[in-house]
Structures are given as C-alpha cells and as structure tokens.
C-alpha cells in the first residue's frame, strides 16, 4: 500500500512538468500581444512597449521563458507577476482559491447529500412512482442550462421573494454562497442521483444480496452496508473527478453571482493572454485532480475488499 502511494506520488512529477509545459506553450501560441492590449484603443509608444516586454521577460525565446518560470517556481515558489497590474500571481491565486474552495465544498456537499439521497430512493423503488419522479426531476435539471437556472433562482428568491441577496458581497459569507452552490452542484446532483439509482437497482438483484437476506440480516444492514458499499464505486469515481470540475469550471455561475473565484480568473487570463496566471491556476487544478484521483483509487480498496494495491 505504502509503495503504491509513493509510486503514484512520483508519477505526479512528470505529469506536473508536462501539463505546465503544454499550457505554457499553448498560451504562448495564442495570437496577439498582452502588453499591447493594456494600452486600449490608443497608440503605443514603442519604447515603453519594448521596455515593458523586457521587464516581463516576454522578449526571450519560449524555452528560455519556460525555464525561468519553472526555476522560479521550484527554487523560490515564485509564480511570477501578472502582466496586467504587476500583482504577484501567488497573491492573485491566494485571493481566488479560498472562495472557490468554499463554493466547491458547498456544491459538493449539496450534490453528495441530495444526489445520493434521491438516487437511493429511486434505486430502491425502481420502476415505481418515486423512481419516475426522480427521473423527471433529474432530466429537468440536466436539460436546463446553468445560466438559466442561475437567473431563475436569482429572480425568484432574490427579487420576487426577497429571501436572499442577489449577489455574493465582498465579505463572501458562507450563507451567501448557498444559492450559487445549488446552481453549481445542480447538474452533478442529477448525474449522481442517476448513477446511484442505476447501480443500486442492478445490485439489488445480485447474488450476495439474496444471500444477505437469506441469512436473515436486518433490512437496514442489507441496504446500508451490503448494497450501498458495492453500489458506491461508480458514484465515487464520478464525485472524485467532479471536484476538479467544480473548482475550475464555475465560470458561468461565478459570473452570475459575483463570485471572484478561479473560474472567472481563468476566463479573464485566457482573453488577456496572462500566461503566468493561467499556468499557475492550471497547475494547481492539475494537482487537485491528481490528488483526488489518488484518493479515489485508495477509496476503491476500502469499498471493495477484493481490490488490493501492492
């Protein structure tokens, strides 16, 4: 087990280097000049432009830029400065990640509790009315685009009923994040419910279930331990990969609810060609993905005793 974890951790190093290089190269090959964009519609004094590019190291060949960037990260934990207003990228990331983590955690809890809950209800009553109701509900959620759901929630609960503030304020309280978390977690909730339902309905007919019932185990134990534990494997796989998606893919939700998090930052960095910020962001997201996928693999062994890691 320990050797397996160590091996997986070592594998992260080439993945880390590869992704940073790919992103770096992709940003570099985008058309346009990020420094020029800073001057707006007005004419640019070539001397200032050249001096600014030199200061940012953008006049060097790409392999040299990449080398400087990586050595700074590894030796000094320095992710460079933003082109836009010269803020250190670590500071920008430090502002954006906590709020995104909060939002992702809430959305994750929401989809976990309600998704699995609905899935269990539907799975146990497969083919009956409750199952059909959940089916329709999830279908509805999956088919509504995120921004429509966001605006509907805002319209109904903030403007018509006045139960909540329409936007997340600068204090970014937990309570303000509930609405965006529901919108953000809504789609995944539907997937989780469906996965749980299918998996449970299938395993209900499995041999070990019949054995457990035949042994005379109480119904709670049969469902709670024997059935749930075996049905959770595909759901856990989905939930694991979803953490990364919740953190990096919240562009629309963040925009609607005025959350100044990672999603919006990624979008801005792409349109403004902020290479250093983008690589920093993506690197951290890649690390999150790697860590969660390792965690899931380890969870498999817990859920299914037949799986062993050497």
Partner 1 sequence: MRGATHAKWAALALAVALTATACGGGDDSGGSGADGIVSSSWGDPQNPLEPANTNEVQGGKVLAMIFRGLKQYDPKTGEAKDMLAERIETTDSTNFRITLKSGWTFSNGEKVTAKSFVDAWNYGAHLKNNQKNAFFFGQIEGYDQVHPEEGQAKAETMSGLKVVDDRTFTVKLSQKFSLWPETLGYAAFAPLPKAFFDDHDAWLSKPVGNGPYTVDSYAKGSQMALKRWDGYPGEDKAQNGGVTLKVYTDNNTAYTDLTAGNLDLVDDVPASQLKNVEADLGDRYINVPAGIIQTLSIPFYDKAWDTPDGDKLRKGISRAINREQITETIFQKTRTPAVDWTSPVLGEEGGFKNICGDFCSYDAAEAKKLVAEGGGIPGGTMRISYNADTGSHKEWVDAVCNSINNALGNNRACVGNPVGTFADYRNQVTTQKMTGPFRAGWQMDYPLIQNFLQPLYYTNASSNDGKWSNPEFDKLVDQANAEPDTQKAVEIFQRAEEVLRDDMGAIPLWYQNGSAGYSERVSNVALNPFSVPVYNEIKVN
DSSP 60: S
Q: Tell me which of 13, 75, 127, 175 binds partner 1, using CB under 8 A.
A: 175
Q: What are phi and psi of 259, to 5 degrees?
A: -95, 120
Which of these ranges, 57-65, 175-183, 203-211, 236-244, lies near partner 1 under the rule CB under 8 A? 175-183
- The distance of closest approach from Cβ of residue 207 to partner 1 in the complex, given in angstroms and rounded to an integer, is 32
Q: Tell me which of 16, 21, 157, 309 binds partner 1, using CB under 8 A.
A: 157
Q: Tell me which of 158, 287, 298, 303 binds partner 1, using CB under 8 A.
A: 158
- What residues have CB less than 8 Å from 265, skipping those under 6 apart? 92, 96, 277, 281
Q: Is 38 in the site for partner 1 (CB under 8 A)?
A: yes
Q: Is 59 in the site for partner 1 (CB under 8 A)?
A: no
Q: How many residues bind partner 1 (CB under 8 A)?
A: 68
Q: Is 163 in the site for partner 1 (CB under 8 A)?
A: yes
Q: Is 112 in the site for partner 1 (CB under 8 A)?
A: no
Q: From CA 126, how far away is CA 98, in angstroms rounded?
A: 40
Q: From CA 81, how far away is CA 87, in angstroms rounded?
A: 5
Q: Is 46 in the site for partner 1 (CB under 8 A)?
A: yes
Which of these ranges, 1-9, 49-57, 192-200, 294-302, lies near partner 1 under the rule CB under 8 A? 49-57
Residue 101 burial (CB < 10 Å; 0-12/13-18/19+)? middle
Q: Is 52 in the site for partner 1 (CB under 8 A)?
A: yes
Q: Is 132 in the site for partner 1 (CB under 8 A)?
A: yes
Q: Is 84 in the site for partner 1 (CB under 8 A)?
A: yes
Q: From CA 103, how far away is CA 166, in angstroms rounded?
A: 16
Q: Tell me which of 7, 87, 210, 221 binds partner 1, using CB under 8 A.
A: 87
Which contacts of 228-233 are long-range, i.e. CB under 8 A and separated by 24 or more positions?
228/120, 228/200, 229/303, 229/304, 230/203, 230/206, 230/303, 230/304, 231/123, 231/196, 231/199, 231/200, 231/202, 231/203, 232/196, 232/199, 232/303, 233/199, 233/300, 233/303, 233/304
Site for partner 1 in 247-306 (CB under 8 A): 254-260, 264, 271-273
- The distance of closest approach from Cβ of residue 294 to partner 1 in the complex, given in angstroms and rounded to an integer, is 32
- The distance of closest approach from Cβ of residue 133 to partner 1 in the complex, given in angstroms and rounded to an integer, is 4
CB count within 10 Å of CB 240 equals 18
Sign of CA dihedral 61, 66, 67, 69: positive
Q: Is 129 in the site for partner 1 (CB under 8 A)?
A: yes
Positions touching partner 1 (CB under 8 A) are 30-34, 36-48, 51-52, 55, 84-87, 91-92, 95, 114, 129-130, 132-134, 136-137, 153-154, 157-159, 162-167, 169-171, 173-176, 178-179, 182, 254-260, 264, 271-273
């Amino acid at each position: 087990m320990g050797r397996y974890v160590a091996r997986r951790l070592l594998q992260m190093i080439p993945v880390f280097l590869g992704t940073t290089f790919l992103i770096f190269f992709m940003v570099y090959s985008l058309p346009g000049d990020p420094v020029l964009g800073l001057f707006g519609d007005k004419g640019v004094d070539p001397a200032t432009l050249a001096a600014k590019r030199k200061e940012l190291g953008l006049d060097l060949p790409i392999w040299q830029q990449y080398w400087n960037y990586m050595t700074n990260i590894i030796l000094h934990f320095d992710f460079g400065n933003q082109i836009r207003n010269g803020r250190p990228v670590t500071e920008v990331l430090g502002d954006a990640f906590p709020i995104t983590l909060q939002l992702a955690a809430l959305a994750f809890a929401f989809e976990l509790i309600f998704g699995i809950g609905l899935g269990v209800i539907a799975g146990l009553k497969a083919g009956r009315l409750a199952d059909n109701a959940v089916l329709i509900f999830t279908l509805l959620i999956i088919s509504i685009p995120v921004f429509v759901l966001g605006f509907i929630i805002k319209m109904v609960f903030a403007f018509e009923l006045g139960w909540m503030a329409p936007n997340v304020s600068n204090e970014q309280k937990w309570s303000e994040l509930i609405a965006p978390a529901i919108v953000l977690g809504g789609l995944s909730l539907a997937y989780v419910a469906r996965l749980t339902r299918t998996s449970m309905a299938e395993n209900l007919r499995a041999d070990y279930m019949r054995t457990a019932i035949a042994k005379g185990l109480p119904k709670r134990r049969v469902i709670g331990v024997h059935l749930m534990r075996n049905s959770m494997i595909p759901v856990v796989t989905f939930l694991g990969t979803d953490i990364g998606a919740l953190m990096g893919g919240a562009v629309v939700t963040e925009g609607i609810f005025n959350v100044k998090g990672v999603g919006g930052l990624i979008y801005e960095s792409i349109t403004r060609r902020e290479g250093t910020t983008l690589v920093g962001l993506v690197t951290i997201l890649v690390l999150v993905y790697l860590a969660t996928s390792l965690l899931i693999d380890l969870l498999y062994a817990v859920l299914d005793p037949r799986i062993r890691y050497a």
